[in-house]
Chains A and B, each alone.
Chain A
Amino acid sequence: MDNILELKNITKFYGDKIKTQVLFGLDLSFERGSFNSIIGQSGSGKSTLLNILGTLDRPTDGDIIINGKNTKSLNANALSQLRNENLGFIFQFHYLLPEFTALENILMPVRILGKKIDKEVMARAEELIELVGLTKVKNNLATQMSGGQQQRTAIARALMNQAAIILADEPTGNLDSDTTEQIYDLMRMINKKYQTTFIIITHDQSVAEKTDRIIEIKDGRILMDVRKDK
Chain B
Amino acid sequence: MNFMKRAFLSLIRRKGKSLILLIIIFILSNVMAGSIAIGQASRNVETTMKQQLGANASVEMDWEKMQNWTEEQWQNVQYVTPAMADQIGALPYVKYFDYNTEAYINSTSLKMYDPNMMDQEYNYFPLRGVNYAPVLDIANGTATLVEGRVFSEEDIAKANYVVLISDKLAEQNNVFVGDIIMLNNEFQIWKEGDVEPDKITRDIALEVIGIFSPKVNTNQEENGGWIDYTPFNRMYVPNGVVNAENRWMTEQYMIAYPDSGITPDQLEQVYINPVFVLNNPEEVESFRTEAMTYLPDYYKVIVSSDAYDSVAGPIKFIGSLSNTILYVAIGATILILSLVVILFLRDRKHELGIYLSLGESKSKVMAQILIEVVAIAVLGITLSLFTGNSIAEATSQSMMDLRAGIEGGGSDNPMLRQNMIYNPGGITEEDVMEAYSIQFSWDYVLILYGVGVGTVLLSSIAPMIYILRLKPKKIMM
Contact = CB atoms under 8 A, between A and B. Distances in A.
Given A97-B351, A100-B9, A111-B2, A83 B477 contact: no
Contacts of B477: 47, 50-51, 56, 91, 169
Contacts of B357: 54, 56, 83, 89
Contacts of B472: 56
Contact of A77 (B6, B353, B361, B471): B361
Contacts of B6: 111
Interface in A23-57: 47, 50-51, 54, 56-57
B355 interface: yes
Given A97-B351, A99-B13, A76 B362 contact: yes
Contacts of B95: none
Contacts of A85: 359
**Central interface residue in A54, A83, A96, A112, by most chain B CB within 10 Å:** A112
B360 interface: yes
A15 interface: no
B5 interface: yes
A62 interface: no
A135 interface: no
B189 interface: no
A99 B473 contact: no
Contacts, number: 69
B359 A113 contact: yes
Given A99-B9, A99-B10, A114-B2, A80 B359 contact: yes
B359 A111 contact: no
Interface in B347-364: 350-351, 353-362, 364
B476 A89 contact: yes
A81 interface: yes
Interface string B1-36: 010011001100110000000000000000000000
Contact of B359 (A84, A97, A98): A84
Contacts of B355: 108, 112
Interface of B is mostly: helix
Contacts of A169: 476-477
**Central interface residue in A54, A80, A114, by most chain B CB within 10 Å:** A80
B344 to A, nearest CB: 13
Contacts of B361: 76-77, 80
Interface in A106-158: 108-109, 111-114, 157
**Central interface residue in B5, B6, B359, by most chain A CB within 10 Å:** B359
A51 B473 contact: yes
A76 B362 CA distance: 9
B419 to A, nearest CB: 73
A25 B366 CA distance: 36
Which of under 10, 10 to 19, 20 to 34, or 35 or more describes the interface residues of A? Answer: 20 to 34
A95 interface: yes
B476 A84 contact: no
A112 B360 contact: yes
A80 B355 CA distance: 10
Given A99-B14, A112-B2, A84 B358 contact: yes
A78 to B, nearest CB: 10
A57 B2 contact: no
A102 to B, nearest CB: 14
A57 B358 contact: no
Contacts of B473: 51, 54, 56-57
B5 A97 contact: no
Contacts of A93: 350
A147 to B, nearest CB: 15
Contacts of B364: 112
Contacts of A50: 477
A83 B361 CA distance: 11
B476 A83 contact: no
Contacts of A111: 2, 5-6
Contact of A109 (B9, B10, B353, B359): B359
B382 to A, nearest CB: 25
A185 B472 CA distance: 28
Interface in B36-76: none
A91 B474 CA distance: 12
A112 B9 contact: no
B467 to A, nearest CB: 13
A76 B365 CA distance: 14
A108 B10 contact: no
15 contacts: A56-B476, A56-B477, A80-B360, A80-B361, A82-B359, A83-B358, A89-B476, A91-B477, A95-B350, A95-B476, A108-B355, A109-B358, A111-B5, A111-B6, A112-B360
Given A56-B473, A99-B9, A157-B358, 19 more contacts: A50-B477, A54-B357, A54-B473, A56-B357, A57-B473, A80-B359, A80-B360, A82-B359, A83-B357, A83-B359, A89-B357, A91-B476, A100-B13, A108-B358, A111-B2, A111-B5, A112-B358, A112-B359, A169-B477
**A-B complex: 5 closest residue pairs judged by Cβ atoms:** A84-B359, A99-B13, A56-B473, A111-B2, A51-B473
